[in-house]
Amino acid sequence: MRKIQITNGMFIAMVVNLIFAKAIGVTQGILARSIGQDMWMATLLGTLQGAAMMYIAYLAICKTPHLNYIELGDLLLGKWFGKLIALLISVFYLAAFGPVMITFVYHLKDYFLPEAPYWLFTTSALIVGSIGCFYGLEVMARIALIGSLFIFLLNTLIIIGSLKEFDIRNLLPLLEHGFPQTAAASLHFDADWALAIMLVALIMPFVNGAAAHGSKLSVASMLASGMVIAIWAILEGGVLSAEVTSQYTISCMKLARNAHIGNFLQRYEMIMIALYSFSVLFEVMFCIYGTSVGVSKIFGLQSHKRMIVPVCLVLGAFGTWVVQDHFHAIIYLEHDWPRIALPIAFSLPLLMLGLRMLLRKKLEQTLHSQYEKS
């Protein structure tokens, strides 16, 4: 019997926070370089694709909502297959830590602390993240709830502060490069929701009412994420223009520096960083959690907490290596990360769904025998 309980609101908050920071921080700049003023269209297309894949990710475990992907893999093909899935999840979240650190470090170093060494940012993020991970999913979920409140406040401030500068002509012409190229560019945003797919693979068994409402929750969480992110895509295109947005690694900071509310509140990027912090630190926490859970399953450990420190050392070395060279960081962000994230996030839910359907009788017999033993 699982003791951890995550409410429906917590689950949606976790998905939103896991996607939000990177999606508004660096992804919009990538989309502007790829597709110009249609970056907001690419964001909407990516949201719909993400909602569909979230639904498929839930379908893979809908008949066994008390099992995560690793545990389901154990029952389907044996321990070796469960460890293979654990390895994929570990590699995924190790690779995901690179974009998360690019978002976190460049926000702070490029705009506020240019003389600070890179290791200082990665170390401080990992210390905070490891504490949250140690105290468990419920604490992380509550942090995500607070982060969601801050996201709402941040979006409200950026809308109010940017409306006077908004020019809808910057978003025209629509689909200038054609629908196929816009859809192809949306794959960069798909790499963001890949994080949410792997979150479902790990924590869905802990969500209250997952058996009855899991499909609705999965789709609703992705649509909510797309809504709060699309606001930034539209504002960055309408206020800054796609040409200006494409010139910045952290394009959301340029928008925040342009925002103002009359003569009383000018350039409130410091407020933005404060409101933004819970979301990006939650991303750090979940990268540590996902990697440590996967590694602990590979080594047959009962608790992931024993692997937090070793995992943090590996993540810290990798994250520092990624961010210490801006050119290398952009190459990793735009090319390497999607090539790692998308194959895993697309193929793993489809593979698990296919195996569950093919081995349905074996799975039912195994679950029945386990029920009789208990």
pLDDT in tens, 294-329: 999 999 998 899 999 999 999 999 999 999 999 999
Residue 370 lies in a domain: no
> How does 92-111 read in b/e, with b if 16+ C-beta sit within 10 Å?
bbbbbbbbbbbbbbbbbbeb
Tell how many helices (H) and how many strands (E) occur in the chain.
17, 2
Look at residue 162 and tell me if it is in a domain.
yes
CA atoms of 114 and 124, how far apart (whole Å)? 16
Any domain includes 299: yes
pLDDT band for position 264 (cuts 50, 70, 90): low
Contact 251, 130 (CB under 8 A): no
Does residue 270 sit within a domain?
Answer: yes
Note the pLDDT tens digit of each residue in 169-226. Answer: 988 888 888 889 999 989 888 999 999 999 999 999 899 888 778 888 888 999 999 9
The candidate with the shortest Cα–Cα distance to 188, out of 333, 331, 327, 344, is 333
341, 95 Cβ separation under 8 angstroms: yes
- What are the structure tokens assigned to 260, written together? 């103002």
Residues 247-279 as b/e (b if ≥16 CB within 10 A, e otherwise) read ebbbbbbbbbebbbeeeeeeebbebbbebbbbb
**Residue 103 within a domain:** yes
In a domain, 372, yes or no: no
pLDDT score of 107 more than 90: no
CATH assignment of the domain containing 185? 1.20.1740.10
pTM: 0.93
pLDDT of residue 165: 86
In the DSSP assignment, the letter for residue 1 is -
Total domains present in the chain: 1
User: pLDDT confidence of 265, banded at 50, 70, 90?
Assistant: low
Summarised one tens digit per residue, pLDDT across range 113-164 is 889 999 999 999 999 999 999 998 999 999 999 999 999 998 998 888 888 8
CA atoms within 13 A on the CB side of 104: 30
What range defines the domain where residue 245 resides? 8-363
pLDDT at position 268 is: 65
134 vs 2: CA distance, rounded Å:
17
pLDDT of residue 333: 92
Q: What pLDDT score was predicted for residue 272? A: 77
For 55-101, the pLDDT digits (tens) are 999 999 888 888 899 999 999 898 999 999 999 999 999 999 999 99
C-alpha to C-alpha distance for 323 and 330, rounded to whole angstroms? 9
Q: Is residue 67 part of a domain?
A: yes
Residue with tokens 């961010």: 323
* Domain-embedded: residue 25: yes
Amino acid in the structure at residue 153: L
